[in-house]
Amino acid sequence: MTDGFIHIAEPVVDSIGLPSTAGSTYVNTSNNYDCAISGLPFFLGISREHPYKRETAQYRKQQIDQQKEPGEQTLTGWWLRSQSSFHYGAGIRYEEPVEGETVGYRFNKSAGVDVFNIGRVTLLPDVTQNSNITVGSGVTPLMVGGTDAAGVNLYLTATGSTLQRTTSAGATTTLTWGGSGTILALAQDGQNYYVLNATGIYKGPLTNATNGTLIFTNPSFLGTVTTGVMGWVKQRLIAGINNALFEVNSVNSYNVASTYIDGAFNANITTASAHNFVTGSEVTLASVGSPYNGTFTVTSVPSQTQFTFFINNAAVSNNASATGTVQLASNNNLPIYVHPNASWKWTAVCEGPNNIYVSGYAGSYSSIFRLALDTTTGNIPLLTRSLEAAIMPTGEQIYCMGAYLGKFIVLGTNKGIRIGTIDTSGFVSNGYITYGPLIVVTNGYDPVSATVLNGLPCRNLTFNDRFAYVTVSNYIDNGDGTYSSGLIKIDLSRDFGTLQMGWATHLRVPSTAEATAVCVMGQTNQLVIGVKGTGVYQQANTLVSSGYLQTGQIRYFTLEDKHFELVKMRETLPMLGTLKLSSVLATGEVTDIITVNGSFDFTQDVSGLNAAANNIPQESVALKFTFYPESGQLVGQEDSFNGYQLKALPAVRRERIYTLPLMCYDFEEDRYNMVTGYEGAAIERLSALETIESNGDVVILQDFTNNETVRGVIESISFTREAPSDRRFQGFGGVINLQFRTVV
């Protein structure tokens, strides 16, 4: 046994002879040998020609710099890791450039900072609550943004039965939208707003010049209307009410220009201007004359100024100077499609190049339907079967959906966020959607934090420029142990994998309640967020009180321990606020290193990382940069953080190489003149040692002269046959020069 210091404390009973395994040891009994290799004993033959040596083994290999960015691969001296931009967003656990070219521009997580300008990290705007909008307990706000006919930028907010209009000047007024009861859905077409309740759909001008009026009555076959969604797509209003889909057209009056009835009893009507009728529409003609006056069902729409219907009358010649009017009848509520599952809920409407897309779910099943336009008339035909463009994994429900540039589809679900593409090949697959993996996980295993999340669904999204903004709830890590609701910002112009786009957290609200709505206030680029039971928050012109960015764990693509020593930070001067540097160990332990301001010399290295780890070598470390603005600092005056460089040294335990001169003769004597051996013993031991070397296994070296026992491998054996040095050594033999490398 040993005494805890790898010293022999008590003898171990073992047989004398050749070792049975590579890990064998030897115990001196009748003869006192100097050392033993894997249980094979030898006397040391130390001399000027055959010295005993111990030296440090080479621990750093020759390297060639093959990285895309020169200087990152260490050739001599420091191990370096640098980042000069973070514009590919969050989501990595380890900052390993060999995993892809974009990894060097990504990070682990952030809050309160904008990373999507190449080479710059800046603080985000703060938010302010609109005190004129009251969101009662349990009330889910709905919002749309737009610009009215007078050029006023605004957003509409529906809370319960109240509809309010807020302008970019800050004025909030209540609209008389024409109905009562809870507002279920809200949409706008650039000139008018549309409100859906349990009765029907109401329309009013965004300018609020007049009150809203009922333009569509929910059909009785729907029963009690409890859910709904609307979208203005391809110059028409699509409404999903309970489990049915409708194309809702305004009841406009059009002048009749010509009429005639052909031999097949088809009444052919031409209007003076483009109408909004589709096949199946109920229309009412007045003051046209017999036999045209009355209500009929449209059977075809050859063009936007023509339509036909069946009439039980003889052929009537063309009347090119007909007069009178035609408009949709009040009972124009024939559905485009009714889902066979009565519990189905429609959740979102958007448009692609050749189709209109509507998403929904029932239970654990969720999918996207495509409504294909008639290639001749542009009308939506009546559907007799479902046309599903994509089906979600079981248990994942789509809550919001939006299309970008006719190519990408952004999906917000109860699990997180996905990106899809629309097939526009023109073949059989035209219009179908292919979606990628979850790029943001809000419910389930999150690879960013390596934890299982139990978050709320992504309820709403909007677009501005090349970015998509998706609501998240109680998801944004503030970096101090608290969380916030707010937005995820996705850069749809930058992908780091198949259907995986750069993303980061964006605006935060001072609440963990469910964020249910987001919109852009007209043409201002200002975002507005609605939070359930809490309020409505507008983007402010002041900066957040703090923000941070945390890199992935940096381990230089090796699991060996390192001494992380120095960090150099880059900041554009002049700098108004302050910057704090912290280290984050793999355990999550955060230690603040230094806080600097504009007077700091950013050309110098900052030390203290090793001390933050209690001078214990670490496999990896992450860097956390926290930014604080100057008091009253405004949007447009942001400080710019430009990157960092980390320096480390390997902390590999050094291996030793022992050079041992070993006597190997047939007959040998120890220090007490005790003779051992027999004729042929030398060659047997040499052969046994060569066999141990050939196996390449880890063996035990025992040095009885200093009571040292170490583990290692035999690097080489060199045998020199020599005459015995004195009378104690006789017969065949010589000196073995053995190189032994310790292993740690």
Question: Quick one: pLDDT band at residue 715, thresholds 50, 70, 90?
Answer: very high
587 — phi, psi (to 5°)? -75, -10
Among 195-199, 251-255, 321-325, 476-480, the least confident range: 251-255
Convert the pLDDT of each residue in 103-162 to its tens digit. Answer: 989 999 999 999 999 999 999 999 999 999 999 999 999 999 999 999 999 999 999 999
The domain that holds 323 is classified in CATH as 2.40.30.20
Closest CA to 59 of 617, 743, 660: 743
The pLDDT of residue 60: 61
| Residue 688: DSSP 8-state | H
List of residues 6+ apart from 194 with CB closer than 8 A:
186, 187, 188, 201, 202, 203, 230, 232, 237, 248
8 Å CB contact between 400 and 414: no
The residues that bridge with 246 in the sheet, in sequence order, are: 239
Mean pLDDT of 83-90: 95
Q: In the predicted model, is pLDDT for residue 8 greater than 70?
A: no
* Other residues' Cβ atoms within 10 Å of the Cβ of residue 526: 19
Q: What pLDDT was estimated at residue 372? A: 78
- Give the confidence band of 16 by pLDDT, cuts at 50, 70, 90: very low
Query: Under a CB-based contact definition with an 8 Å cutoff, are residues 203 and 193 in contact?
Result: yes
Select the more confidently predicted residue: 672 or 245. 245
Domain termination site, one of 286, 308, 328: 328
Q: Please give the average per-residue pLDDT across 689-703, as a whole number.
A: 93
User: Residue holding tokens 């009412």?
Assistant: 284
Q: What's the longest Cα–Cα distance across the chain?
A: 142
Residue 169 falls inside a structural domain: yes
Mean pLDDT value of segment 406-424: 94
Residue 386's pLDDT band, with cuts at 50, 70 and 90, is low
User: Lowest mean pLDDT: which of 267-276, 332-341, 501-510?
Assistant: 332-341
Read out DSSP for 545-557?
S-EEEEPPBB-TT
User: 380-384, 414-418, 483-487, 623-627 — which is least confidently predicted?
Assistant: 380-384
Q: Which of 624, 650, 676 is the last residue of a domain?
A: 650
Residue 70 lies inside a defined structural domain of this protein: no
**Residue linked to tokens 């010293």:** 7
The pLDDT assigned to 333 comes to: 74
Report the 10 Å Cβ neighbour count for 56. Answer: 9
Same domain, 611 and 625: yes
> Which of 25-39, 389-403, 714-728 is predicted least confidently?
714-728
Give how many domains the chain has, as a whole number: 4
Q: What is the pLDDT of residue 612?
A: 85
Q: Do 140 and 212 belong together in one domain? A: yes
β 621-628/254-261 pair status: unpaired
Q: How far is CA 712 from CA 225, 406, 693, 702, 735, in A?
A: 78, 65, 11, 11, 21
Residue 27 lies in a domain: no
Shared-domain flag, residues 365 and 226 = yes
Q: Are 254 and 218 in contact (CB under 8 A)?
A: no
pTM of the complete model: 0.80
Q: Name residue 569's beta-bridge partners.
A: 644
pLDDT at 14 over 60: no
**CATH code of the domain in which 626 resides:** 2.60.120
**pLDDT category, 57, cuts 50, 70, 90?**
confident
pLDDT tens digits for range 508-536: 999 999 999 999 999 999 999 999 999 99
- My answer on whether 612 and 734 are in the same domain is no
Phi then psi dihedrals of residue 98, to 5 deg: -70, -10
User: Which one is predicted more confidently, 239 or 724?
Assistant: 239
Q: What is the reported pLDDT for 431?
A: 83
308 and 438 co-located in one domain = no
Domain assignment present for residue 2? The answer is no
Tell me whether residue 98 is in a domain: yes
User: 165: domain CATH number?
Assistant: 2.130.10.10
Are 631 and 702 in the same domain? no
Q: Is residue 92 assigned to a domain?
A: yes
**Phi (first) and psi of residue 99, to 5 degrees:** -85, 0
**Residue 283 pLDDT class (50, 70, 90 cuts):** very high
Domain identity same for 154 and 276: no
Do 189 and 289 fall within a single domain? no
For residue 381, what pLDDT is reported? 52
Give the residue among 664, 656, 667 at the shortest CA–CA distance from 708. Answer: 656
d(CA 652, CA 647): 16
Angle at CA 561, nearest 5°, toward 560 and 564?
130
Question: 151: which DSSP letter?
Answer: -
Last residue of a domain, one of 650, 666, 685: 650
Instruction: Tell me what pLDDT residue 672 has.
Output: 82
Give the alpha-carbon dihedral of 585, 588, 592, 597, to 10 degrees.
100
pLDDT at residue 66, as a whole number:
45
- pLDDT one-digit tens code per residue, 64-84: 444 544 445 544 578 899 999
Residue 34 DSSP code: S
Mean pLDDT within 634-642: 95
Task: Assess whether pLDDT exceeds 80 at residue 592.
Answer: yes
Kindly state the average pLDDT of the residues 302-325.
93
Regarding whether 265 and 322 lie in a shared domain, the answer is: yes
pLDDT tens figures, 180-231: 999 999 999 999 999 999 999 999 999 999 999 998 999 999 999 999 999 9
Pair type for strands 266-271 and 483-497: unpaired
Sheet strand arrangement including 345-351? 345-351, 355-362, 365-372, 388-391
Asked if residue 624 is part of any domain, the answer here is yes
Q: Which two tokens stand for residue 435?
A: 């979606």
Residue 566: name the closest of 623, 646, 487, 627 by CA.
Answer: 646
Whether 470 has a pLDDT exceeding 60, the answer reads yes
pLDDT the model gives residue 375: 55
Radius of gyration, alpha carbons of the chain: 40
Report the chain's mean pLDDT, rounded to a whole number.
89
CA distance 33 to 349: 88
Handedness of CA 259, 262, 267, 268 (dihedral sign): negative
Residues 519 and 616 in one domain: no
Instruction: Examine the domain organization and report whether 145 and 238 are in the same domain.
Output: yes
Q: Provide the residue range defining the domain that includes 580.
A: 79-124+546-650
Which pLDDT belongs to residue 58? Answer: 77
Q: 3-class SS at 38?
A: coil
585 is a domain residue:
yes
Peptide bond into 574 cis (omega under 30): yes
Q: Is 503 exposed, middle or buried (0-12, 13-18, 19+ CB in 10 A)?
A: buried
Same domain assignment for residues 457 and 521: yes
In whole angstroms, give the CA distance from residue 38 to residue 20. 9
Higher confidence at residue 330 or residue 155? 155
What's the Cα-to-Cα distance from 462 to each of 348, 516, 522, 529, rounded to whole Å?
A: 12, 12, 12, 11
